[in-house]
Amino acid sequence: MDFTAIDQQITALEQCLETTVEVDPNEELLVGVDLGTAYIVVVVLNGKKEPVACAMEFAQVVKDGLVVDYIGATRIVRKLVQELEERLGRPLTHAAIAVPPGTSENDCKTHRYVVEAAELEVTNILDEPTAANAVLGLQNGVIVDIGGGTTGLSVLEDGKVTYVADEATGGTHLTLVISGNYRVSFEEAEDLKKAKDRQKEILPVVRPVVQKMGTIVKDHIEGRDVSAVYLVGGTCCLKDIEKVMEKEIGVPVYKPANPFLVTPLGIALNC
């Protein structure tokens, strides 16, 4: 698969974490709010669906897709939305959100209330793989989303999600292994894991956990006609994770430029 166009869009979004693209005062803005286990990300696109601003914050207010700290989540979303409004010089009025597949109606409502508390009308509630696929545009294949807490996978057939699974091994587990190996705090290990100049050294340390993630995917796709696996989610930013996963799963594994931003971008595209 040719990722060139997708990578350009994601790289543009990554730049919007630092810089803000000017928008027309009357232009419609599309907003996506991603409430994750490790990060809350808010993405703003212009009327042409191009990234114009993005903000994020580390947060432990969601667990297994459920909001466990409503007040904390509300405070962070409000703060990120205010920051983006100041940067854009415009109020944001509506947003799309996403939840893990199989989230109950009540838990969807809680996600919605968090975003509504930031004075955004929620126009769409997607499931996360559908949001990721709004960017990837797959007809057939498997999207593997490795976030903070879990490795999730979604099988797509004819553009539709036909099977999902989610198991408790994610980026947090990598951080815990690094923390133990280097005898540093969780926070220091988290920084170490993300340091670009340390990634070569980190991969061998966390390889067994990454292999476990590969095994999770392999077990769930066994007996299915799967020709390729596509990686999204923050943990997939780890350099060469795709090589370890490919060896474990035994089918070609692809990852876009910044897997972390795929789902947040897809949410905004569906606003």
Binding site for ligand ATP (CB under 6 A): 36-39, 147-150, 170-172, 190, 193-194, 233-235, 237-238, 260
Shortest Cβ 48–ligand ATP spacing (Å): 26
CB of 174 to ligand ATP, least distance (A): 7
Amino acid at 233: G
Closest to ligand ATP by CB, 118 vs 189, is: 189
Least CB distance from residue 260 to ligand ATP, whole Å?
5
> Which three-class secondary structure state does DSSP give residue 81?
helix
In the bound state with ligand ATP, the residue whose beta carbon lies nearer, of 31 and 61, is 61
Q: 86: Cβ–Cβ under 8 A, 6 or more apart, which residues?
A: none
CB closer to ligand ATP, 39 vs 90:
39
Residue 120 DSSP class: -
Neighbours of 263 (CB within 10 A): 29
- Pair of tokens at residue 14: 């990554």
Q: Which is nearer to ligand ATP, 177 or 271 (CB)?
A: 177
Instruction: Count other Cβ atoms within 10 Å, centred on residue 20.
Output: 18
The CB-of-153 to ligand ATP minimum distance in angstroms stands at 12
Would you say 23 or 241 has its CB closer to ligand ATP? Answer: 241
Residue 257: how many other CB atoms lie within 10 Å = 18
DSSP, collapsed to helix, strand or coil, labels residue 60 as: coil
Question: How do beta strands 51-58 and 39-45 pair?
Answer: antiparallel
Give the chain's end-to-end CA distance (angstroms, integer). 26
CB of 190 to ligand ATP, least distance (A): 5
Joined together, the tokens standing for residue 43 give: 């993405």
Shortest spacing between CB 47 and ligand ATP, in angstroms: 27
Q: Name the residue nearer to ligand ATP (CB basis): 221 or 241.
A: 241
Q: Is beta strand 51-58 parallel, antiparallel or unpaired with respect to 94-99?
A: unpaired
Q: How far is the CB of 94 from ligand ATP (least distance, A)?
A: 22
Is 155 or 260 the residue whose CB approaches ligand ATP more closely? 260
Give how far the C-alpha of residue 12 lies from the chain's centroid of Cα atoms, to the nearest Å.
16
Determine contact, residues 95/35, Cβ cutoff 8 Å: no
Burial of 141 (0-12, 13-18, 19+ CB in 10 A): buried
Distance of alpha carbon 54 from alpha carbon 120, whole angstroms: 16
Query: Measured from the CB of residue 256, what is the shortest distance to ligand ATP in angstroms?
Result: 13
Residue nearer to ligand ATP on the CB measure, 39 or 230: 39
